[in-house]
Structure formats: structure tokens, C-alpha cells
Chain A
Amino acid sequence: MKILVAVKRVVDANVKVRVKPDNSDVELNNVKMAINPFCEIAIEEAIRLKESGVASEVVVVSAGSNECQEQLRTALALGADRAIQIATDETLQPLAIAKLLNAVVEREQPGLVIMGKQSIDGDNNQTGQMLAALSGMPQGTFASEVKLEGEELLVTREVDGGLQQVGLKLPALVTTDLRLNEPRYASLPNIMKAKRKPLAQLTPDDLGVDVTPRLTTLKVSNPPERAAGTMVSTVSELVEKLKTEAGVL
């Protein structure tokens, strides 16, 4: 079975972004970038499925400017077999990304697509579900366990009240939650090897996809600041303040 993994280049999870003074966007110049953490979990899961003999090939795909080749090479170093970059400098919204990925799904015919449940920049939590809809695949979102049993993919999902298990027909789409696995680090020899692995380039035009944004960002602003609080020195002082000053106990 072939597995397609979609990855996204995002601001590193430890960076606190700043809003640009003209309120047009956040400042992304000279900011550390990385693979979206949930996409790392997706790569790891695909590689584990290959190591256990369930998958035969892991193809990793990303849409964006040439800088995202850096994240594709990281995925190759982690164990993916080949990479596809959908090259564009346009700002891509989830629906456009889902359409691009759907065109890649049509070409590659994977048995399973794995991707992160959300990217930590836009926080949309949409692209996986949208791709599943466009490709007619069932979806196992927010997965904490994935197991192939015969022709059915069993997915344990993290839901608000606890855990839900669903059975999906293949081909299927899975989006990853935190506890699915713990991603490995790439070794130096594998980083060197990854440089020679194939990386193909396609454009939205090649795929026949219109990526025009449907949402216009009118403004990006700072959230309201919380005023600085006070330090208390004992537990009893804390309880006293919560009762009398804050009135919440």
C-alpha cells in the first residue's frame, strides 16, 4: 500500500509571533520555521506502517514556495521515499490546499493519506476533512491509534468526551492527534541520504487547480493584553484574595 503524507512549513512552535505594525499580517521575516508538529506525527506514523510491512512506499507532499523543500527533505531524512512539491508563491487557504492534494491523490492513488489535524499557524483544522470530502474517502480525524485489520482501517479518535473507534474502508484519510506516536529524530547519515532522494515539482496549473483565496484578511491585530497581576506569599493569602477581592470562591 502506498501512503501519501501531506506536510506544511510553519513558524516553529516555540516562536511567539508578533503582529506587523501595519496590521496586515504577522511578522514572518527572520523567524524560525519548521515542519508543523502534527505533520511530523503523520510522517512518523507512515514510516512505522512501512517498517511493519503494511505500507510499501511513503510519498510526502507539500504546497508552497521553494522554501518548503527544506521540510520535504526533513521528511525524506526521517524515512519517506520520495517527495512532491506543489510549487506556488500564492497564499494558500485550506480549500485550495485540499484541491491541490486531491489532484495529487488522483495521480498517486494512495491507499492511505495521513496528515496533521491542524497547522499551528492558521489553526484552521480543515484541510484533511476537505481532502477526504473531495476525494470521496472516509476520514479518521484526531487519531490516537491506527490499525489495519484485513481491508478495514481501525482508527481510535480523540473526541471531547473520551475516545471513539471507527472502521474505515480503504482508501482512507487520517488526521493525527498528539498521542498517536512520538516522532523520531533524523540521523546524520539519513540526512545525507535524503539529499539524493527524488523530489518532483508540480504547479497548480499542472494540476488544473484554481487556488484563488475565498477569504480576505482585512486586518490582523493583537489580542487584548491581560493586566499584570499580583504575587501572594501564602496559600491563605491566596484564598483570602480569591474570596474577597476577586469574589470567585
Chain B
Amino acid sequence: MTILVIAEHDNQTLKAATAHALSAAKEIAAQTGGEVSLLVAGHNCGAAAEAAAAVPGIAKVLLADSAALAQQLPENLAPALVSLVQAQAVTHLLAASTTQGKNLLPRVAALLDVAQVSDITEVVDGDTYVRPIYAGNALATVQSSDSVKVITVRTTAFEAAELSGGQAAVATQEEASDAGLSRFISEEVSQSDRPELTSARIIISGGRGMQSGDNFPLLEKVADKIGAAVGASRAAVDSGFVPNDMQVGQTGKIVAPDLYIAVGISGAIQHLAGMKDSKVIVAINKDDEAPIFGVADYGLKADLFEALPELEQLL
């Protein structure tokens, strides 16, 4: 019985999301008695496989390194995963619920003719999981009757597993073939010296109240004082203030930092879905009726254009 976790990596190192998916896998292993293995798929990703081999408590690392898997296009990777699931007697296939995991796993599940359980927040047992529905306004406990469980993991719901100190064997897999359906053209990665939203300890986010993208530097100055990441509500993204990769919410990123500061954000259901598991929430808004105050540990009714510069000074 193999519980296979698909590692997210940049060919060199494992990304933080993998550590959270691993924790969920270990919980499943504890329930079922299965073994956890890690898959590193890509091209010229030997260094990432070495990093994966250092993860403690795993049975082995499967390395699928071939040109067809270079950007891990789902058209090429999904069929390769189906063969792997069959060859390795995989009972549970997991990935973090990142854009990459969300893109890939349903394609694999459909090829295997099994359901997928998306975005789990709790492992009840080997067949049963808890997942949020309706923007997190309800939690569903679901049980799968399929032979292979295909699962994406909400990273904020599981602690990061230790990634170093182990020594697992690396098993090289067969060359994957190019399905000839798709090609990678380019990637524009947002450049920033600030921490990533999904792993930041502190996040400060702006909403429609920011009025314009030109005002986001007010948030950035505060962020830089305290090492925070900068996020935004859907309203701010929809209004064109900032790019979509900054969006926190039901349809953007799900975050749970130690401190979340919501500035000029009214607190729509869709935004709360993405941040209400933060440890401490601060809301700054000039409308004291704003629903964001209902979830905030500390609320400040103020004009953000006065409060932000003052906050920057006092930190």
C-alpha cells in the first residue's frame, strides 16, 4: 500500500506546500498502515529528487525525469501518473491544493475513473475526509468508495512536515511520452522580495477601500517594516488595482498566517473563506458596520489613508 505524494519543486528544492501535503499523507499512513512515497516529476530535476530523499519517514522517492515532463503539463504527466498508480499499488494519491495540484489531479482521477476529494482539511480515516464547501461556510465529511483515493490537501490545515534528516532511496521511473496536445510557451513570475502569501507569518491585505493600485505602496511600506506579505481582496483584483496572484479568498489563495491585517476590506463571504483561519485578525475600516469586524480579533474604525502611515511609523 503506497500513499504517493506529488512533490512541488523548482527542479532544485521542494516547495513549502509539499511539506503540508506530506503531513496529511503521514496521517493517512498512521490510519491505514501504508507507506508514504514522494514523486518528483519534471526534467533535469535530479537535485529536487535528492532533496526529496532527505525527507524523513518516507519509503522512497520516485523520480520521473524526462523531457516530456519539463513543465509538468497535465496532458503528459497525468498518463504517466496513471501507470505509476498501477505499478506501485498506490491507494492514495495526494498533492497540495496549489494551482499545480488543482490542475493536475482531477485529470488523473478521471483517467483512473475515481472521484477526487478536493482541499481536505482533516483526515478522519483512510476513506473519510473533511473538506470545506460553500466558501467554508460548511464542512462536509465525505467517504470515498473508490479503490484509489485522489486527494488535494489544503496546506493551511496541516502543519509542515520535517523535510530534512532522512535518507530514502531514489527509484528512477520510465521515460514519459509527449501526448502532443499542448506546449509550454512562457511563464511570468511576479518578482518580489516579500514573503510568499501562502507561507508568510504576517499578511497585510487591501480591498476596494484602497481606491487605486497607486495606493498599495501604503500597505507595502507597512509590510516591509514587519516582514509581511501583501495580499488583496477579490474586489481589489476585479477593480484592476493589483494582479490576481495577490488574491486571498475562496477563488484565490487560502492563507492562515499568525497575523492577518485587512485594510479597507468589507469582508465578503468570498474573502473570509480565504483568511478566517488566521490566528489573529486585525481589521481597519472606516465603516463600523463592515462584516470584517465580525471575524476580527482587533477592529479599528479609521480612515486607512491616515491609519496606514501612522501604523508604519509606530512599527
CB atoms of B103 and A141 under 8 A apart: yes
**Contact bitstring A207-249, B, C-beta under 8 A = 1, else 0:** 0000001111111111100101111111110110110001011
Question: Do A95 and B198 form a contact, CB below 8 Å, given A169-B182, A214-B145, A214-B146?
Answer: no
Query: Considering the chains assembled together, what is the distance between the CA atoms of A228 and B258 in angstroms?
Result: 17
CB atoms of B237 and A178 under 8 A apart: yes
CB atoms of B138 and A142 under 8 A apart: no
Q: Any chain A CB within 8 A of the CB of B296?
A: yes
Q: Any chain A CB within 8 A of the CB of B305?
A: no
CB atoms of A222 and B299 under 8 A apart: no
Q: How large is the interface on A (under 10, 10 to 19, 20 to 34, 35 or more residues)?
A: 35 or more
Q: Which of A54-62, A75-83, A153-161 contacts B (4 or more CB under 8 A)?
A: A153-161
| List of B residues within 8 angstroms of A127 by Cβ | 106
| List of B residues within 8 angstroms of A229 by Cβ | 281, 293, 295-299
CB atoms of B298 and A230 under 8 A apart: yes
CB atoms of B276 and A235 under 8 A apart: no
**Contact bitstring B128-141, A, C-beta under 8 A = 1, else 0:** 10001111111111
Question: Do A165 and B186 form a contact, CB below 8 Å, given A95-B109, A126-B116, A220-B139?
Answer: yes
Closest to A164 in B: B187
Query: Considering the chains assembled together, what is the distance between the CA atoms of A199 and B191 in angstroms?
Result: 49
Question: Do A215 and B144 form a contact, CB below 8 Å, given A178-B234, A242-B280?
Answer: yes
Query: Considering the chains assembled together, what is the distance between the CA atoms of A13 and B182 in angstroms?
Result: 34
Within 8 A of B (CB), among A1-52: 11, 13-14, 16-17, 19, 26, 38
A-B contact pairs, 25 of them (CB 8 A): A11-B134, A13-B269, A16-B137, A26-B133, A95-B110, A95-B113, A123-B134, A123-B250, A133-B108, A138-B75, A138-B179, A154-B185, A160-B198, A161-B187, A166-B184, A214-B146, A216-B142, A221-B138, A222-B138, A223-B136, A226-B295, A230-B298, A231-B299, A238-B300, A238-B311
- Give 19 new A-B contacts, CB below 8 A, not counting A120-B251, A231-B288: A17-B134, A26-B133, A95-B110, A118-B251, A138-B75, A139-B103, A159-B99, A160-B98, A160-B198, A161-B190, A165-B185, A218-B143, A219-B140, A220-B141, A228-B294, A230-B298, A241-B298, A246-B259, A249-B226
Residues on A lying within 8 angstroms of B by beta carbon are 11, 13-14, 16-17, 19, 26, 38, 93-95, 98, 117-118, 120-134, 136-139, 141-142, 144, 154, 157-169, 177-179, 213-223, 226, 228-236, 238-239, 241-242, 246, 248-249
